[in-house]
Amino acid sequence: MNHPLLVDVEQAVAGGDGAARQSMLDRVTDLFVGVADRIDDDQVEAFDVVLHRLIGTVGPQARASLSDRLADIPNAPRSVVRDLAYDAEVSVAAPILSRSTRLDEDDLMILAAERGQDHLHALAKRKSLSERVSDVLVTRGDRSVVHAVAANQGARLSGKGFETIVARSRTDDILRDTIGRRSDVPKACWPALRKPPAPVRSNPAAVCDEDEKRIAAWFAEDRITECLDALAGFSGTSVDRVRQAYEATAYEPLLYLVRSVGFGWGIFKLFLLSKPGPPPSPEDLRGAFAAFQAMPVATAMRVVTVGAHGAAPRTPR
């Protein structure tokens, strides 16, 4: 790389001009992309140093553009690629996570074990995934991540990984069908995929203390997907409907489901505290508790039953 460009880079970084830094990043990226297929490792390393100097001075939009341009280049600067992959902004990380071959197995394992669901979803779309990485994704991932792994024929799963994903398909017909289309499902898992889902317990009398303890333990371990799956099973409704209620701004749709199966206030409160977004205020919790106490189980069961056969009930105004 020629010396004048290095001088220009230092001036752009030191000058504090955002537009100049953006322009310089574009210039260096254009230059690298144009010569990437015919330069050696030492020259790639030189680009790595310069680009690494620049990416810390630009915003997420510029980093996302760089990520997209480098993701499909086999010899892209490794340090820069890793920085982009670990970026907290999913728009920056996603192209590298889903497409770049410059990330090694250790990087993928760390990212799968530590990053959020959006990052995991990008990882799940890689052309190939080892058993180790796939197993972490189906254990930590939410429904969309698990579905992406199941649909990815390049994602290998261990026996334990298949047990995990098949168990999660018991209340998810779409996931069950997706797994069934794979050619590598162990024979031991075939019966669970062929038979219909186990009968659900929609009678509150069937819910016992052990059920509540198990769900409370899952909440403590941040295993939200299992909690939602369990609520779907107990209430006799779909996982999609339960997730919609869980993600709704109002708490009433979730209240109907939780109350319909006879769970106590403690479980309802755990669902509320784990919902996406800001935690409920003390005043909100007091209102939810009053609504929970006032809601007869029989009424909640009727609402859930009607909703299961038609449109979901409207939130009371």
Could you read off the pLDDT of 74-93 as tens digits, one per residue? 999 999 999 999 999 999 99
Are 93 and 170 members of one domain?
A: no
End-of-domain residue from the set 103, 137, 171: 103
| 124 within a domain of the structure (yes/no) | yes
Are 84 and 162 members of one domain?
A: no
Are 191 and 221 members of one domain?
A: no
Are 231 and 286 members of one domain?
A: yes
Are 21 and 82 members of one domain?
A: yes
SS3 state at 182: coil
| 93 within a domain of the structure (yes/no) | yes
Model pLDDT, residue 61: 95
Are 295 and 224 members of one domain?
A: yes
| 4 within a domain of the structure (yes/no) | yes
pLDDT digits (tens, 9 = 90+) for 245-274: 998 888 999 999 999 888 889 999 999 999
How many domains does the chain divide into?
3
**Between 310 and 27, residue with greater pLDDT:** 27
**What is the distance between the alpha carbons of residues 229 and 234, in angstroms, rounded to a whole number?**
9
End-of-domain residue from the set 103, 124, 155: 103
Are 126 and 221 members of one domain?
A: no
- What's the predicted TM-score (pTM) here? 0.61
pLDDT digits (tens, 9 = 90+) for 271-310: 999 988 888 899 999 999 999 988 888 888 888 887 554 4
* Residue ranges making up the domain that contains 125: 109-198
**What is the distance between the alpha carbons of residues 124 and 19, in angstroms, rounded to a whole number?**
35
pLDDT digits (tens, 9 = 90+) for 108-166: 999 999 999 999 999 999 999 999 999 999 999 999 999 999 999 999 999 999 999 99
| 315 within a domain of the structure (yes/no) | no
| 84 within a domain of the structure (yes/no) | yes
Model pLDDT, residue 233: 86
End-of-domain residue from the set 198, 223, 247: 198
| 313 within a domain of the structure (yes/no) | no
Q: How many CB atoms lie within 10 A of CB 271?
A: 24
Are 135 and 219 members of one domain?
A: no
User: Tokens 């889902």 correspond to what residue?
Assistant: 197
Average pLDDT value over all residues in the chain: 86
SS3 state at 140: helix
Please state the length of the chain: 317
103 secondary structure, DSSP code: S
| 317 within a domain of the structure (yes/no) | no
Are 148 and 223 members of one domain?
A: no
